[in-house]
């Protein structure tokens, strides 16, 4: 069965579909020795080259759908590469061969919490599409006076630069003062939508954490900067949510409680090491050889102190 060329290349981990469309339009992709064009379809047995290099493709049926739950810390951006050299959410993810991790949605640099990744581009596209109305829940700390009228307005809808938006649910958490915590729920993921909605009411968001995506919650045992692979049941829950067929395989290995503890402890050590390396100028995570200690210089032996000479009294005038 033939498939669109950009879809096959994206599944092989070469890049996103949009990046593949750009490369095809630039004449950098060939099929069976002939330059490919946008809109071409390919069969499994055809040879695809990108910049002259053969691409190892995999059929859609043979690909195992994997999903990763990542605890994004503040300060990381949701891009593969950053011209400014800032850390990205892809830096610490496990390496893959023949595929790549695709972020399901984005969180801005000052937002932390649950960020999902998958190897299935179709699953990612459907989960991000507004028509499926997948719930996203955030814990948000707001500075400013929040009245019942403001909460009601955020529920019914406020006008933003890119159209009207509203929270499906708002839960007020216990507390007093001008710094209050709320839980809000959306079914879309527009850029900085939660922050812009609160700012439209004269308040400021000073903390924002995504705590849930669909029915998948931010795992409490994962440190900021850590990740955990989702089980087959969780993967199939997401696939059913967007009307995709169930996955039958999983690469997760069974582990007992002690193995799980060791894995999480190792993850915490790796996260701390990475954080220290980022904060220390000029330091990398690679282990450097320690310089050999210098040989001690031999000091000249001390001469024994001269003993004082006792002079006899003079005998002048004797005899």
- Which residue numbers are catalytic? 108
Residues whose CB falls within 8 Å of the CB of residue 121, separated by 6 or more in sequence, listed in order = 7, 10, 11, 16, 17, 102
Task: List CB contacts of 273: < 8 A, sequence separation 6 or more.
Answer: 285
Q: How far apart are CA 256 and CA 263, in angstroms?
A: 11
**Secondary structure percentages of the chain, helix, strand, coil, to 5:** 25, 25, 55
Distance, CA of 135 to CA of 138 (rounded, Å): 10
Close Cβ partners of 85 (under 8 Å, ≥ 6 residues apart): none
* Whole-number Å distance between alpha carbons of 178 and 143: 5
Long-range contacts of 242-250 (CB under 8 A, 24+ apart): 242/123, 242/126, 242/127, 242/129, 242/132, 242/134, 243/126, 244/122, 244/123, 244/126, 247/64, 247/65, 249/64, 250/64, 250/66
């Amino acid at each position: 069965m033939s498939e669109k060329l950009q879809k096959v290349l994206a599944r092989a981990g070469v890049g996103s579909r949009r990046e593949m469309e750009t490369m095809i339009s630039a004449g950098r992709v060939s099929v069976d020795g002939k330059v490919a064009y946008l809109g071409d379809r390919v069969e499994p047995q055809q040879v695809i080259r990108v910049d002259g290099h053969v691409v190892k493709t995999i059929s859609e049926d043979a690909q195992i759908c994997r999903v990763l739950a990542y605890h994004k810390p503040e300060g990381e951006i949701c891009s593969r590469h950053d011209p400014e050299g800032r850390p990205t959410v892809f830096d610490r993810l496990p390496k893959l061969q023949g595929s790549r991790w695709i972020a399901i949605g984005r969180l801005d640099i000052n937002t932390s919490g649950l960020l999902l990744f998958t190897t299935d581009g179709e699953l990612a596209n459907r989960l991000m599409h507004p028509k499926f109305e997948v719930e996203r829940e955030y814990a948000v700390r707001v500075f400013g006076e929040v009245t019942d009228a403001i909460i009601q307005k955020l529920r019914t809808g406020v006008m933003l630069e890119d159209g009207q938006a509203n929270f499906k649910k708002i839960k007020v958490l216990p507390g007093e003062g001008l710094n209050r915590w709320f839980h809000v729920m959306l079914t879309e993921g527009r850029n900085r939508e939660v922050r812009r909605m609160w700012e439209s009411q004269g308040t400021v968001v000073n903390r924002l954490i995504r705590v849930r995506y669909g029915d998948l919650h931010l795992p409490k045992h994962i440190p900021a900067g850590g990740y955990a692979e989702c089980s087959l049941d969780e993967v199939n829950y997401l696939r059913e949510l967007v009307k995709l067929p169930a996955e039958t395989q999983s690469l997760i290995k069974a582990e007992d409680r002690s193995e799980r503890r060791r894995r999480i402890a190792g993850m915490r050590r790796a996260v701390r090491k990475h954080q220290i390396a980022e904060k220390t100028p000029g330091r990398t995570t690679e282990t450097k050889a320690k310089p050999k200690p210098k040989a001690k210089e031999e000091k000249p032996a001390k001469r024994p102190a001269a003993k004082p000479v006792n002079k006899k009294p003079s005998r002048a005038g004797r005899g």
